[in-house]
Amino acid sequence: MAARDERPVVIVGAGIAGASVAWHLRRLGEAAVCLVEREAQPGAHSTGRNAAMLREHMEDPRLAPWALRGAQALREGGLCAFRRSGGLLVGRGREAVGRYHRQARGEARFAPGDGVVDVAGLLAAYLRGARLHTGVTVLALEPEAGGWRVHADGATLLARAVVNAAGPWAGELFGLPLTPRNRHLFVSAPDPEIDRTGPFVWDLEGGYYFRPESGGWLLCACDETAAAPGAYAEREEVLLDLGAKLARHQPGLGDLRVVRRWVGQRTFAPDGLPVLGADPRRPGLFHAAGLGGHGITWAHAVGEDVAREVLGARVIPDFARVDRLL
């Protein structure tokens, strides 16, 4: 009888993608799983810098199954807190936005199942009990018999399989054409007139969104600027652009005072589609990358599908496989 391979599945990156893959692997019976994270804390990059909205509607219908499955798990799975505020998609229906937020205008479709995810809570739930090495950067991968030698700063790990969940670094580290794109978020000063429980408002054509946050609004001008992984330089013109968009589309929001702002990275393949599953270049290499602007919504379903591929199934559709980029 062949000896059991004791080498773990090594997951590079403890953002929401890597954490979800790890959680599903363990749930599916794979005990030997190890996450390697360069930062001192997990979730320090895209996972800790997003708008936390769960939006079921996908412009590309091929992506809908991950959004629907992800949404269902977050609403019903008891993994973390979820505020079912609903979401308004401007221009997609005839409901008056002002019915939900009296400051806002326009017509929209109301999606009652959408809402706001407790991202930190979800990440913690996925990582509870997981083997996690923080403060360790994976530098290179070297193939060896039936697996990998994972060279990291300060350690070399032997792996049966490797999962690329490196977010903005996923392209650089694994030789793939993935580009991080910077996006700013702003929070305005608290205002008692804002309904804190109200839905998000997303205007895809107008290129902005906002939702209640900390008593004010969380606002975004839907900017996207290519940047190096981890380069979060702020650009003042984005706030000017946001002001111009709100003046044109939502003048009722009035003069807002920004009290907090930050930049995060959404990472895309050239076709904007995710990069998932087994890599044909080398057995034992898998990707959970290129999650763009929907990684929180998709995380649960994508994590499950990638975990199933690590365990030998083929469940990822061709349009999302890495093969198309090679």
Ligand X SMILES: Cc1cc2nc3c(=O)[nH]c(=O)nc-3n(C[C@H](O)[C@H](O)[C@H](O)COP(=O)(O)OP(=O)(O)OC[C@H]3O[C@@H](n4cnc5c(N)ncnc54)[C@H](O)[C@@H]3O)c2cc1C
Residue numbers of the site for ligand X (CB under 6 A)?
12-18, 36-39, 44-47, 49-53, 137-138, 165-169, 173, 183, 185, 264-266, 291-297
Least CB distance from residue 39 to ligand X, whole Å?
5
Least CB distance from residue 129 to ligand X, whole Å?
19
Least CB distance from residue 304 to ligand X, whole Å?
15
Q: Three-state secondary structure along the chain?
A: CCCCCCCCEEEECCCHHHHHHHHHHHHCCCCCEEEEECCCCCCCCHHHCCCCEECCCCCCHHHHHHHHHHHHHHHHCCCCCEECCCEEEEEEEEEEHHHCCCCCCCEEEEECCCEEECHHHHHHHHHCCCEEEECCCEEEEEEECCEEEEEECCEEEEECEEEECCHHHHHHHHCCCCEEEEEEEEEECCCCCCCCCCCEEEECCCCEEEEEECCEEEEECCCCEECCCCCCCCCHHHHHHHHHHHHHHCHHHCCCCEEEEEEEEEEECCCCCCEEEECCCCCCEEEEECCCCCHHHHHHHHHHHHHHHHCCCCCCCHHHEHHHHC
* Cβ nearer to ligand X, comparing 52 with 63: 52
Least CB distance from residue 17 to ligand X, whole Å?
3
* Cβ nearer to ligand X, comparing 147 with 290: 290
* Cβ nearer to ligand X, comparing 222 with 253: 222
Write out the two tokens for 208. Answer: 């902005």
Least CB distance from residue 2 to ligand X, whole Å?
31
* Cβ nearer to ligand X, comparing 51 with 322: 51
CA distance 174 to 325: 12
Least CB distance from residue 4 to ligand X, whole Å?
27
* Cβ nearer to ligand X, comparing 39 with 95: 39
Integer CA distances (angstroms), 11 to 47, 84, 226, 280, 284, in order = 16, 31, 26, 18, 12
Least CB distance from residue 237 to ligand X, whole Å?
16
* Cβ nearer to ligand X, comparing 97 with 263: 263
Least CB distance from residue 41 to ligand X, whole Å?
9
Which residues lie closer than 8 Å to 122 by C-beta, 6 or more apart?
16, 74, 79, 80, 296, 299
* Cβ nearer to ligand X, comparing 17 with 278: 17
* Cβ nearer to ligand X, comparing 102 with 235: 235
